[in-house]
Chain A
Amino acid sequence: MASITLTSVKKTYHGNVTAIHGLDLSIEDGEFVVLVGPSGCGKSTLLRMIAGLETITTGEVRIGNTVVNRLEPAERDIAMVFQNYALYPHMSVRGNLEYGLKNRGTPRPEIDRRVLEAARILEIEPFLDRKPRQLSGGQRQRVAMGRAIVRQPKAFLFDEPLSNLDAKLRGQMRVEIRRLQRTLGTTSVYVTHDQLEAMTLADKLVVMNAGVIEQIGRPLDIYADPQSLFVAAFMGSPGMNLVDIERLRGLVADLPASIPSGTGTIGIRPEDIALDEPATPHFTISATLEAVELVGSESLIYANAQGLSEDVVLRSQGIHRGNPGDPLTLHIRHEVLHSFLRETGRKAAA
């Protein structure tokens, strides 16, 4: 187990396409870090650079106290779980688990002990002698995890490991991965584009966009206090409502004076818009109902306010019965507003 430190890490392809723009990140020993971002943001590339599957153009990657830039993946003492599992199809589950240990020259009794241990933890003992193709998706996923665990590496690297599973199984495995990581206490880096996974798994969340880190922080801190327009729009489902300040001024006369100067966009979380009048200071917007999505436990209401370019989404507990065209009054408390600078898209300082 070890910490991982990235210093000014940069990745350039063919000398001109830059995938990662000089990036710093430090991962504590035993920490579970999730890299999240849209496709093509460089999160997988970053993970593969830590793994040693991609070369590092400039900068430095340290695992523990060792600079690993020039080390082969196997020498870095990390284990990786792939999206498509990448199990060896001609080997039994036992063979898959053993392979890395055998290549390291681990003594036979030690191999057997570790394989049984991992199989017990992951509840795959009954399948040890089966081939991967005889297993279900969830079982293969467990074997892929097992292959990482038996190695007792310094760090686990996960590359979207759950995206091939159906929604229910994904939920189960998510909980299981978290539990397992807590038990083993192994430093983990996890790449995903699924923000539910990102929010629930991470000790530390790293939101990436176009090869740079947009924000690093604890998941709830990032959700509550996004530092840029990108993070505001990306985290949360549905994402934050982003409204141009000029259009809002045209609609609302009594906007709070606390909005910092230079603000170009105001963000409001869907759950922060209320249909009932709150007791604290607030302003209101008149709108008409466009559509309602009933999720079961809550309703997503799409409202159209004259003068705004896009529908406003709000989240309301329980089931909201309403028809398109119904008038709505949206109540927005002053303290829930997020202000972003017109120039940079960064959060505006209060």
Chain B
Amino acid sequence: MVENRPFLSILTHAVLIAGVIIVAFPVYVAIIAMTHTDVTLNSGAPLLPGGELVANLIAVWTFDPPGAPPFWLMVWNSTLMALIIMIGKIVISIVSAYAIVYFRFPFRTLAFWVIFITLMLPVEVRIIPTYEVVANLGMLNSYAGLTVPLIASATATFLFRQFFMTIPDEMMEAARVDGAGPLKFFRDILLPLSRTNIAALCIILFIYGWVQYLWPLLVTTREEHFTLMMGVRQMAGAQKVDPQWNIIMTAVVLAMLPPVVIVIAMQRLFVKGLVETEK
């Protein structure tokens, strides 16, 4: 909008501010709740900070909630799950993109389209058959069951394919003349050139793995495999006693931190990896 009328700017700002408040308010409540005792919280949510922040931050690590595993175990599970998904996806997709772009084999286009079509089938859509397969393979309540179905998807393959296609063919030909076989070309030329893309994808995929809720909820029934996203929910729901809101909210805020930190810290690298190609 290039119009410059005071009334319109006030209106647009009002709408935006209202939006920000709607999004930010629950987060604010959670952060405030970190700083109070459970007694205060059970009598209604305060809007001003209290003095229990440090106590809650310490308590969350030692607290053993009924119906959920200890907080540190859930952090560990979530980290492991996010890392396995991230590494697994990148390894599989960069290798398959390499095959699709640089090798001529029968049904190459078909292979690409089959991979591509899975973009339209996220876990939520294929959740029942996927659960069936995972259950039949005996992978319920395991890290494999948590991660393998989420690793299989096309986003990263597609991104790497697009990037590889921007690399001039002469690069590969020059490497062939220089005596580099397919593996050497991949290791010496393609991997270093993909560095920023890999970094950007690492960020996206780590966060993708970290925030998974529905899938871990389905495949894990035993507490020792609970992840943070679903476990926090269990901390609040599965008890006969009053929920310890101060601890739960502290856990919630801590669970939100890794994605925030990663995005802030890696923002420039992230943008660079997605928009810039080094040729």
Residue ranges of A at the interface with B (Cβ–Cβ < 8 Å) = 51-53, 72-74, 78-80, 82-84, 86-90, 99-100, 103-104, 133, 147
Contacts and interface: CB of A to CB of B under 8 A. Distances in A.
Nearest to A74: B179
B19 interface: no
Nearest to B278: A89
Given A72-B176, A74-B176, A90-B193, A82 B170 contact: yes
Interface of B: 168, 170-171, 173-180, 184, 188-189, 192-193, 195, 278-279
A100 B173 contact: no
Given A79-B177, A88-B174, A147-B174, 6 more contacts: A73-B176, A74-B178, A88-B188, A90-B189, A99-B188, A104-B179
Contacts of A103: 178-180, 184
14 contacts: A73-B177, A74-B178, A74-B179, A74-B180, A80-B174, A83-B170, A88-B174, A88-B175, A88-B188, A88-B189, A90-B195, A90-B278, A100-B177, A147-B174
Contacts of A99: 175, 178, 180, 188
Given A100-B179, A103-B179, A86 B184 contact: no
A35 B174 CA distance: 21
A53 B176 contact: yes
A79 B170 CA distance: 13
Contact of B192 (A79, A82, A90): A90
Nearest to A78: B177
B170 A86 contact: yes
A97 B179 CA distance: 13
Contacts of B184: 103
Most buried by A among B170, B177, B192: B177
A74 B177 contact: yes
Nearest to A98: B178
Contacts of A52: 176-177
Contacts, number: 61
Nearest to A132: B279
B178 A84 contact: no
Given A90-B193, A99-B188, A80 B179 contact: no
A51 B279 contact: no
A80 B177 contact: yes
Nearest to B194: A90
Contacts of A79: 177
Contacts of A82: 170, 173-174
Contacts of A133: 278
A88 B174 CA distance: 9
Nearest to B277: A89
Contacts of A100: 177-179
The 7 closest A-B pairs by CB, nearest first: A74-B179, A100-B178, A86-B170, A103-B179, A86-B174, A90-B192, A82-B170
Contacts of B188: 88, 99
A293 B41 CA distance: 92
A147 B180 CA distance: 14
Contacts of A80: 173-174, 177
B187 to A, nearest CB: 12
A87 B279 CA distance: 9
Contacts of B175: 88, 99
A86 B171 contact: yes
Contacts of B170: 82-84, 86
Contacts of B180: 74, 99, 103
Contacts of B179: 74, 100, 103-104
A90 B192 CA distance: 7
A89 B170 CA distance: 12
A100 to B, nearest CB: 4
B73 to A, nearest CB: 41
Contacts of A86: 168, 170-171, 173-174
A78 B184 CA distance: 19
Most buried by A among B175, B178, B192, B278: B178
Contacts of A74: 176-180
A147 B184 CA distance: 18
A79 B176 CA distance: 10
Nearest to A131: B278
A82 B279 CA distance: 15
Nearest to B171: A86
Most buried by B among A86, A99, A147: A86
Nearest to B180: A103
A160 to B, nearest CB: 11
Contacts of B278: 89-90, 133
B173 A53 contact: yes
A51 B250 CA distance: 66
A80 B279 CA distance: 19
A83 B174 CA distance: 11
A72 B174 CA distance: 12
A104 B181 CA distance: 11
